Amino acid sequence: MDRVDASAEQMTPAAADGHQVPESIDILKIMQSIPHRYPFLLIDKMVEIHAGQSAIGIKNVTVNEPFFQGHFPSHPVMPGVLIVEAMAQTAATLVVMTLGAAFEGKLVYFMTIENAKFRRPVGPGDQLRIHVDKERSRANVWKFKGIARVDGVAVAEATFSAMIMG
């Protein structure tokens, strides 16, 4: 049996093929869903998962992040491109959770990134709450709107599309 958070006992409505999708998942289920690993796995947990529609990814930003060694040692700032990557990982995990076990570990490739905006720096001690909402999907191409927030304040946003390789 897969390990999920205690709150995952509540399930969201069934995905398209009828399998149940938990409302939240832990890092082990994320790692089962997408192939990313340290140091490039940029989400720690997902909550408020709504199959085929939306989810929130959580990234706890710590001073131990490898990118802070060079960006910037005296004033650590999480690179904006990594925030967009965290949005994509949240969306990819949502897609895999929606499509089911046959898609676990499949590669997902960016196709477009549009209207990326970075509103304030993210640093050690911040918790990113990465909201992704599906705008549309057709076959294996999905388009999402992502907004990353710290303490309820938007710090970055982007619209992006990706293709899952099945």
Question: Domain of 147: which CATH number?
Answer: 3.10.129.10
**CA 68 → CA 39, 79, 81, 122, distances in Å?**
12, 9, 14, 11
Residue 80 lies in a domain: yes
Q: Whole-angstrom Cα distance, residue 128 to residue 100?
A: 26
What is the mean pLDDT of the segment spanning 115-134?
A: 98
In this structure, is residue 118 part of a structural domain? yes
Alpha helices in the chain (DSSP H): 27-33, 80-99
Alpha carbons within 13 A on the beta-carbon side of 151? 6
| φ/ψ bin of 67: left (φ > 0), alpha (ψ from -120 to 50), beta (otherwise) | alpha
Q: Is 12 helix (H, G, I), strand (E, B) or coil?
A: strand
Name the residue range of residue 87's domain: 27-165
Residue in 19, 50, 71, 75 annotated catalytic? 71
Number of independent structural domains in the chain = 1
Dihedrals phi, psi of 78, to nearest 5 degrees = -70, 125
pLDDT tier for residue 5 given thresholds of 50, 70 and 90: very low
- The backbone torsions φ and ψ at residue 28, rounded to the nearest 5 degrees and listed phi first, read -65, -40
Q: Is residue 156 part of a domain?
A: yes
Ranges of H-type helices in 2-128 = 27-33, 80-99
- Has residue 10 got a pLDDT over 60? no
At 166, the pLDDT band (50, 70, 90 cuts) reads confident
The residues, ordered by sequence, that sit 6+ positions from 22 with a Cβ below 8 Å of its Cβ are 4, 5, 8, 9, 10, 11, 12, 29, 49, 97
At 42-62, the pLDDT tens digits run 999 999 999 999 999 999 999
In a domain, residue 127? The reply is: yes
Residue 149 domain-assigned?
yes
Q: Which of 3-12, 14-23, 46-55, 104-113 has the lowest mean pLDDT?
A: 3-12
Mean pLDDT of 100-106: 92
Residue 12 pLDDT greater than 80, yes or no: no
Banded model confidence at residue 92, pLDDT cuts 50, 70, 90: very high
Condensed to tens digits (0 to 9), the pLDDT of residues 65-81 reads 999 999 999 999 999 99
> Does the active-site annotation cover 131?
no
Average pLDDT over every residue of 121-136: 98
Q: The pTM is what? A: 0.91
Residue 7 in domain: no
Residue predicted with more confidence, 155 or 166: 155
| Inside any domain, residue 1 | no
| Alpha-carbon span 78 to 125, nearest angstrom | 11
With CA atoms as reference, report the closest residue to 92 among 19, 155, 150, 40: 40
Residue type, 101: A
